Copies of this chain bind each other. A is one copy, B any other.
Amino acid sequence: MSYAALEQHNQRISGLRHVEAISAWDEAAMMPPGGGQARAEALATLRGLIHEQLTDPRVGDWIAAAESSGGLEPWQRANLREIKRAYLRETSIPRRLVEASSRAESQSEQAWRMLRPASDWQSFRPLLEAVVSLKREVAAALSSNLGLSPYDSLVDGFEPGGNSEHFAALFAEIRAFLPGFIDRVVEKQSRETVLEPEGPFPVERQRWLGLRLMEKVGFDFVHGRLDQSHHPFCGGVPTDVRITTRYDESDFQKALMGVMHETGHAKYEQNLPKSWLEQPVGAARGMSVHESQSLLQEMQVCRSREFLQVMEPLVREAFPEAFARNARAFSVDNLYRLATRVRRDFIRVDADEATYPCHVVLRFEIEKALIEGKLTVADIPEAWDAAMFSLLGLRTGDNHRDGCMQDVHWPAGLFGYFPTYTLGALTAAQLFRAMIESDGVREALAAGDFTPMNAWLKDNVWSQGSLFDTPELIGRATGAPLGTEAFFRHLERRYLAP
């Protein structure tokens, strides 16, 4: 009875989260500018109501009764575990702190939009200090209730069970491997000629091409759609997944690879276990597994020579004028060189797969020290400059805009999120290696047939929802705990093979 009450209660919460997700997508993809203020109020009200439902005092009693009653099926036990997890997290933080954080983060994010282009660190600093100070309070409150370190209790919000000592060990291997590896790749690529396809590439044609490739790799248009927004993302709900992109008429590959990235996220959502969709156990496992699905699609599959071979005739069909102007820029060889260029640069979101982990390691180290109180906000620029130099050989100096002010995560209070990007890259490489060793997948991929790949991912990842924790999911799918080896071998094969 108590367990049934929990399922019913969560079904209700799932309905509210559904309209929250659609309204948030709408805000980014559809809303006219004048709708913003009322939308923010409406979403705040709705989120307050969801928080109220999540912390309903009856939930605690139901959980206790369900835990002691037995007789649950395995998926129900996993569901109970997830429900308890959310309840513990939500009830750890006093409402006062929830509201104060929300307010400080809104202020700092809104100010950041103006101050970043001006590179104005001095004005931004006090706002970030307010965010960090409240975030430390949140972390302390969570920490004492969850029995995790303060930083890990923030990580746990994005990556359930995530352990920063484990991350640090993996990142140490990355720190040891990447700088020398990047040197060798940059040196090798300096001897190659790359032709830039010359636009314009009309938005409508880019959209057509994106839709064709989405269809090809298995996006389900009965349960989703593609639109535009300023920042690409994957939103909506599993029965109705909304992905977005942005178009640059002078560069079609950027949007195209972005669309493939979001399609990876979307296929995960669209293939979550149907019968558990309204329960926490039916949700995607966590941000590192989610990111592994987008990176597996974009980096492992779509930037491969085999995929570009499949893509090339469609690209020609999409842009006949550009092709006529310079056919050689559209050769598979050249498209491949474009898709795999490695360059040390300041901006994370523009980074290639080889330099990207350096950006993440840097942020992980700084934000962990910040939450632990070992670093103050005032120390960030110096720490940033030092880490950029040691990881990528670049000096940020006073260029805060392209340095510590470049990301929205910290002004928005998202501490503990960054590591999941690189955990996702490691997971993607390890899953991909296990997958292509499975019967027929490699041959099918080479022939542009994505059915066996999708079947493997569905069996091993998508259909599992949150049944297992992340290490168990990865262990079952790949036969090994998460490591750096598959990722490093992938990089060497792609970037250093003669």
Q: Which residues of A contact B (CB under 8 A)?
A: 11-12, 14-16, 18-20, 22-23, 26, 30-35, 37-39, 41-46, 49, 220-225, 237, 239-240, 277-278
Contact = CB atoms under 8 A, between A and B. Distances in A.
Given A20-B19, A33-B222, A237 B38 contact: yes
Contacts of A15: 41-46
Given A16-B46, A41-B278, 18 more contacts: A11-B41, A15-B41, A15-B42, A15-B43, A15-B44, A16-B49, A18-B23, A18-B41, A19-B23, A22-B26, A22-B39, A30-B225, A31-B240, A32-B240, A34-B220, A34-B240, A39-B239, A39-B240
A497 B23 CA distance: 51
Contact of A34 (B34, B222, B278): B222
A37 B238 CA distance: 12
Contacts of A41: 11, 15, 18, 278
Given A26-B26, A39-B240, A46 B34 contact: no
The 5 closest A-B pairs by CB, nearest first: A15-B45, A35-B240, A18-B42, A34-B222, A34-B223
Contacts of A11: 41, 45
A11 to B, nearest CB: 8
Contacts of A20: 19
A41 B16 CA distance: 10
Q: Which of A22, A33, A221, A225 has the most CB of B within 10 A?
A: A22
A14 B46 CA distance: 10
A32 B224 contact: yes
Contacts of A32: 221-225, 240
A220 to B, nearest CB: 7
Nearest to A17: B42
Contacts of A239: 34-35, 37-39
Contacts of A12: 45
Contacts of A221: 32
